[in-house]
Amino acid sequence: MAIQTSVSHDQGQYVHANGIDIHYIDLGHGQPLLALNNGMVSTNPVWEGHPAAYGSHLTTLAEHFRVIAPDMRGSGKTRHPGGPITYEVLADDVVALVEALGLERPLVCGFSDGGQLASIVGIRDPGSVRAIVNHAGYDLFNPNAKSMAVARQTFGGSANASEPDAEIIAKLLDHPQMRSMFELMKADHDTAQGEGHWIAVVAQAFPRITRFCGYSFDDLARLTPPTLILVGDRDFFCSVEEAASAYRALPDGELAVLPNTGHVITPAAIQHALEFFERQLLA
């Protein structure tokens, strides 16, 4: 299969897995690699160039591997029939996607929410994946993670909020620092699934990103596939100290800290992931 040199609207495909039709991009050839975005981001080309999305990096990854990048349940073109979208539901989606596509123990990389999901897949079903890169997606293994309070404040209006507030979410389109992110979410999700769906995406994610996921750093001892914990030294959500805790818990782990880097996907992060995966395949 020839490597695609760009990502366009007509490259998307669907596969029925875990009771839903999952939309995904399939690029490159060779060893399969799942690229899991933050659950509020999708494969829509509007995300290309955004530092919180894999969109700009898929062709680089596809020069080395067959890259499968799905839209998470409820996001982009993957519809969700309703109810909270928990990590357990998403992990079942990933395993079902692997089975439906006939992938044999794929590599998995995930950023932020996608990194947390990649690790939970490995904890729950370690035989389903070959190796994992968790890029800035381990904060929620800390039951007292500050990112949960930040998410409750941002999407619920209070650090103690127990439910999302649609009016507060809608006002994020006017937030001076966050506007660009949520304008892209609106352009992405509303185009794919109807006016106002971007607010539903946030609301469905609220329980997942504002409450302890039920898996702690201790549970990473069950994550037997080789795993790289990757983080920027200036990441607001995922601290270097927590990265060290996650790394020390892993049976077969590596740790990489990117200098002068925040909560973003950079070419250096992609290069670290590629080198890690290539080492695992050689081993």
Q: What is the Cα–Cα distance from 222 to 42, expressed in whole angstroms?
A: 29
Helix, coil or strand: residue 184: helix
Per-residue pLDDT of the chain (283 residues; tens, 9 = 90+): 233 333 444 469 999 999 999 999 999 999 999 999 998 999 999 999 999 999 999 999 999 999 999 999 999 999 999 888 999 999 999 999 999 999 999 999 999 999 999 999 999 999 999 999 999 999 999 999 999 999 999 999 999 999 999 999 999 999 998 999 999 999 999 999 999 999 999 999 999 999 999 999 999 999 999 999 999 999 999 999 999 999 999 999 999 999 999 999 999 999 999 999 999 999 8
Q: Name the residue among 199, 208, 188 with its Cα closest to residue 23.
A: 188
- Per the structure block, which two tokens stand in for 31? 């060893």
**Contact status, residue 42 vs residue 192, Cβ threshold 8 Å:** yes
Q: What is the Cα–Cα distance from 96 to 163, expressed in whole angstroms?
A: 29
- Can you give the pLDDT at residue 84? 84
- Can you give the pLDDT at residue 11? 66
**Contact status, residue 33 vs residue 66, Cβ threshold 8 Å:** yes
C-alpha distance from residue 164 to each of 20, 84, 161, 169 (Å): 25, 12, 7, 8
Runs of H (alpha helix) within 63-178: 87-100, 113-124, 146-156, 166-170
- Can you give the pLDDT at residue 8? 44
Pick the CATH number of 9-144+214-282 from 3.50.50.60, 3.30.530.50, 3.40.50.1820, 3.40.1280.10: 3.40.50.1820
Helix 113-124 with 197-210: angle, nearest 10 deg: 60
- Residue 238 exposure: Cα atoms within 13 Å on the Cβ side: 30
Q: Is the dihedral of CA 69, 72, 76, 79 positive or negative?
A: positive
Q: Name the residue among 199, 208, 166, 158 with its Cα closest to residue 38.
A: 208
Q: Which residues of 69-93 are buried (b: 16+ CB within 10 A; e: fewer)?
A: bbbbbbbbbbbbeeeebbbebbbbb
Q: Name the residue among 24, 251, 246 with its Cα closest to residue 131.
A: 251
CA angle centred on 41, ends 229 and 157, rounded to 5°: 95
Kindly report the pTM of this predicted structure.
Answer: 0.94
- Can you give the pLDDT at residue 39? 86
- Can you give the pLDDT at residue 53? 97
Helix H or strand E segment including 249: helix 240-249
